[in-house]
């Protein structure tokens, strides 16, 4: 067989190995990434729990890089502290070695069984979870098939002079071997695939134990680089840089002890492929034991090293809509949620400034409301465009529903901001232009409605962010409270107008329109509850008999 044919076969086997790994990771992320992400955000309370979670989730997703991106999105959002996130990464590094352990067994008979089982499960039901499991099983079968092809190809390559020249070039040159393995892992974005490749090369007998150990160390460094390079902000860099520091420290220590480790390896009775796999596991396990108690001081160091950036300019410019979220659905949805919550914060500020405007008639308050409304509109457009591009590998049913909830949230809050800016602000300033102030009765009722709307706003955020069904039910039920407040204030106001013959008719009309517009704002806030109830709760509440908010 010619050298060109051998290289083509080798490249094809490596490509199949990487594709199988990609299939497993993306399928399981698409099917189960969101539940795992939610579980991580709610249950990681201490470093040992976080360590075990990192091991388990990496074992499921087959990718420590995916776990790193997931944990990074939580730390950047502030929903997961940096110290437990570092513990998650220590566990993720161990979890990826368990995947290598599984793949290192001779399971040639399992290849057709996995491919067949994956196809059957994929076709069993038209459901995203079944499709994800089926794709993952097919991906696992393809990885085993790739390893089988790789073994056969390397057996032919090992007798060629070029192969021996390359291996001799790596022998004795620690730095070159380290850089080659790190670069290959960085390019492939898969430490699992590269460790399996190193084990396959070691099986040819052309590699000494010392070179094998150095290549494993290089793969560990290369596996920590992609999340660092993909981080979009200083806060997002903290976790991947921390993980890189841990691995670099471990590699430096291992290189210092390399003669001792080589001597232990030779006395262990393991052949070189087994040594590659077990050293990879031992390296990550020892690092976890050494650094698990140092996660808190490391977190403080990283927070000082990467302080949160002060952003200037238009608050409507998106801060979290990075490109990484377009490829991984649950990260993109998390980014969209964070931006939507920024819109909710701006709406809260608009409400506060509106109340100041009603009381003091400050022109500056009116200008601030209009500027914030423009920022909400800009941010809403960015979130809508981002949601349209999320999920290049497809969205499962749950993620598609969540994307729809985010879309409804941002649209309704944009409409609420428009009412505050275009209607209520105009009504408040109209009184000011006539030299009038709202009287005590009007301000009292405005304060009542205002307080109720702020309470509903908090419930809407809870229902949206935590997918809280109880908060969603309360939010819908509060529509009747707002309606009654509006009706009561309207009746009392008409009564006062009839009693006070000197009252201005237009002044009375302004107050009535203020009441109605406040209720319209509440209508858009309460609309956030409906997608949550529709997906998680009793749909009968969707048809509560209340007068229309139009």
For residue 42, is pLDDT > 70?
no
Residue pLDDT, tens place only, 283-292: 999 999 999 9
Let me know if residue 286 belongs to a domain: yes
pLDDT of amino acid 243: 92
- Give the pLDDT confidence score for residue 307 in this predicted structure: 85
**Does residue 327 contact residue 66 with C-beta atoms inside 8 Å?**
no
- Residues 286, 367: one domain? no
Q: What is the pLDDT at residue 256? A: 92
Q: Residue 1 falls within a domain, yes or no? A: no
Confidence of residue 508 (pLDDT cuts 50, 70, 90): low
pLDDT band at 216 (very low <50, low <70, confident <90, very high): very high
pLDDT digits (tens, 9 = 90+) for 179-212: 988 988 887 777 877 888 888 888 877 778 888 8
Range with the largest mean pLDDT of 6-10, 101-105, 302-306: 302-306
The arithmetic mean of pLDDT across residues 119-131, rounded, is 79
Burial of 323 (0-12, 13-18, 19+ CB in 10 A): exposed
147 located within any domain = yes
**pLDDT-based confidence at residue 47 (cuts at 50, 70, 90):** confident
Q: Which residue has the higher pLDDT, 322 or 465?
A: 465
Query: Cα–Cα distance between 25 and 68 in angstroms, integer?
Result: 13
Phi, psi of 44 (to 5 degrees): -90, 90
Do residues 175 and 298 both lie within one domain? yes
Q: With a cut of 80, say whether residue 220 has pLDDT above it.
A: yes
| Number of domains, the chain | 2
Q: Which one of 243, 277, 305 terminates a domain?
A: 305
* Res. 109: pLDDT tops 90: no
Interior/surface letters 515-544, b for 16+ CB within 10 angstroms, e for the rest? bebbbbbbbbbbbbbbbbbbbebeeeeeee
Report in angstroms the alpha-carbon separations of 510 from 142, 182, 439, 464, 488.
Answer: 70, 70, 12, 33, 16
For residue 317, being part of any structural domain is answered with no
Decide if 351 contacts 456 (C-beta within 8 A): no
Of 5-9, 151-155, 268-272, minimum mean pLDDT range: 151-155
| pLDDT in the model for residue 543 | 46
pLDDT band at 438 (very low <50, low <70, confident <90, very high): confident
The whole-number pLDDT of residue 133 equals: 84
Q: Is the confidence at residue 53, as pLDDT, over 80?
A: yes
- Cα dihedral 63, 68, 71, 72 sign: negative
- Give the residue among 167, 149, 170, 171 at the shortest CA–CA distance from 158: 167
Can you give the CATH number for the domain in which 484 is found? 1.20.58.220
Q: What is the pLDDT of residue 282?
A: 92
Same domain for 111 and 196?
Answer: yes
28 shares its domain with 176: yes
The SS3 assignment for 286 reads helix
pLDDT at 544 over 60: no
Is pLDDT of 260 > 60? Answer: yes
Model confidence band, residue 522 (pLDDT cutoffs 50, 70, 90): very high
Least confident of 154-163, 169-178, 534-543: 534-543
Mean per-residue pLDDT, 220-243: 84
Looking at 305, 337, 356, which one is the last position of a domain? 305
Cα 310 to chain centroid, rounded: 22
Residue 59 reports pLDDT greater than 60: yes
pLDDT value at position 391? 63
pLDDT above 60 (res 392)? no
259 and 335 part of one domain: no
What is the predicted pLDDT for the residue at 333? Answer: 83
Mean pLDDT over all residues of the chain?
81
Same domain, yes or no: 253 and 333? no
User: Does 234 map to a domain?
Assistant: yes
Range of the domain at 247: 8-305
Would you state the pLDDT for residue 335?
Answer: 84
């Amino acid at each position: 067989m010619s050298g060109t044919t051998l290289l083509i076969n080798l490249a094809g086997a490596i490509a199949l190995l990487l594709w199988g790994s990609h299939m497993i990771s993306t399928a399981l992320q698409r099917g189960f990434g969101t539940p795992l992400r939610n579980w991580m955000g709610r249950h990681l309370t201490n470093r040992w729990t976080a360590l075990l979670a990192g091991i388990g989730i990496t074992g499921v997703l087959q990718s420590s890089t995916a776990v790193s991106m997931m944990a990074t999105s939580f730390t950047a959002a502030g929903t997961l502290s940096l110290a437990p996130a570092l513990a998650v990464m220590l566990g993720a590094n161990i979890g990826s070695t368990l995947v290598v352990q599984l793949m290192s067994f001779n399971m040639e008979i399992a290849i057709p069984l996995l491919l067949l089982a994956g196809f059957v499960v994929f076709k069993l039901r038209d459901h995203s979870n079944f499709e994800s499991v089926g794709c993952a099983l097919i991906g696992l079968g393809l990885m085993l098939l790739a390893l089988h092809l790789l073994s056969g190809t390397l057996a032919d390559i090992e007798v060629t002079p070029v192969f021996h020249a390359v291996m001799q070039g790596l022998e004795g040159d620690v730095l070159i071997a380290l850089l080659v393995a790190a670069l290959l892992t960085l390019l492939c974005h898969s430490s699992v695939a590269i460790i399996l490749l190193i084990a396959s090369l070691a099986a040819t007998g052309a590699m000494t134990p010392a070179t094998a150990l150095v290549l494993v160390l290089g793969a560990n460094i290369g596996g920590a680089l992609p999340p660092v390079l993909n981080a979009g902000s200083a806060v997002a860099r903290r976790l991947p840089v921390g993980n890189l520091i841990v691995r670099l420290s471990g590699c430096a220590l291992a290189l210092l002890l390399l003669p001792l480790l080589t001597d232990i390896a030779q006395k262990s009775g393991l052949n070189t492929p087994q040594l590659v796999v077990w050293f990879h596991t031992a390296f990550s396990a020892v690092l976890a034991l050494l650094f698990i108690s140092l996660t808190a001081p490391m977190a403080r160091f990283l927070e000082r090293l990467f302080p949160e950036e002060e952003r200037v300019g238009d608050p409507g410019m998106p801060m979290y809509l990075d490109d990484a979220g377009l490829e991984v659905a649950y990260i993109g949805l998390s980014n969209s949620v964070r931006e939507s919550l920024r819109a909710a914060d701006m709406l809260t500020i608009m409400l506060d400034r509106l109340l100041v405007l009603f009381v003091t008639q400050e022109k500056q308050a009116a200008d601030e409301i209009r500027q914030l409304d423009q920022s909400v509109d800009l941010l809403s457009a960015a979130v809508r465009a981002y949601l349209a591009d999320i999920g290049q590998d497809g969205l499962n049913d749950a993620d598609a529903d969540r994307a729809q909830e985010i879309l409804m949230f941002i649209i309704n809050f944009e409409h609420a901001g428009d009412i505050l800016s275009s209607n209520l602000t105009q009504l408040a300033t109209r009184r000011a232009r006539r030299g009038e102030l709202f009287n005590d009765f009007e301000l009292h009722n405005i304060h009542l409605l205002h307080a109720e709307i702020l309470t509903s706003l908090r419930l809407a955020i809870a229902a949206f962010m935590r997918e809280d069904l109880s908060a969603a039910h309360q939010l819908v039920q509060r529509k009747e409270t707002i309606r009654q407040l509006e009706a009561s204030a309207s009746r009392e106001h008409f009564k006062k107008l009839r009693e006070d013959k000197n009252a201005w008719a237009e002044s009375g009309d302004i107050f009535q329109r203020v009441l109605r517009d406040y209720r319209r704002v509440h209508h858009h806030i309460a609309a956030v509850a409906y997608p949550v109830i529709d997906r998680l709760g009793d749909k009968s509440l969707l048809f509560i008999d209340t007068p229309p908010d139009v």
